[in-house]
Amino acid sequence: MLDTVEFILKILFFILSIIWAEKIIVLRTDKQIVINPLLILISSILVMLTQGHGREFLGVDVQYIRIALYSIYSFIVLLGLYSINKKNGFF
């Protein structure tokens, strides 16, 4: 079950990364100054986490951490896309 959720979130991560990269190239906004470092940080943490099952980091299974990071990344990108499209966004 968790493998399926993680796989779906990886696909969503890839698609949203492409969409966000297109927005960076086309639109230059102040909101990107806030969002881009967060996305880079989350991506770098995801790269550093191991892919093994049953591995723990600070007492939490690594797979749960990866799922949480993919979810946070997706939420931040969707929030950023919404705020770029609206003049009165969250930032």
Q: How far apart are CA 52 and CA 65, in angstroms?
A: 12
How sure is the predictor about 29, in pLDDT bands with cuts at 50, 70 and 90?
low
For residue 88, pLDDT over 70 is answered with no
pLDDT above 80: residue 74: yes
**What one-character DSSP code corresponds to residue 53?**
T
| Interval 33-61: pLDDT, tens | 677 777 777 787 777 776 666 677 677 77
Q: Is the dihedral of CA 3, 42, 44, 78 positive or negative?
A: positive
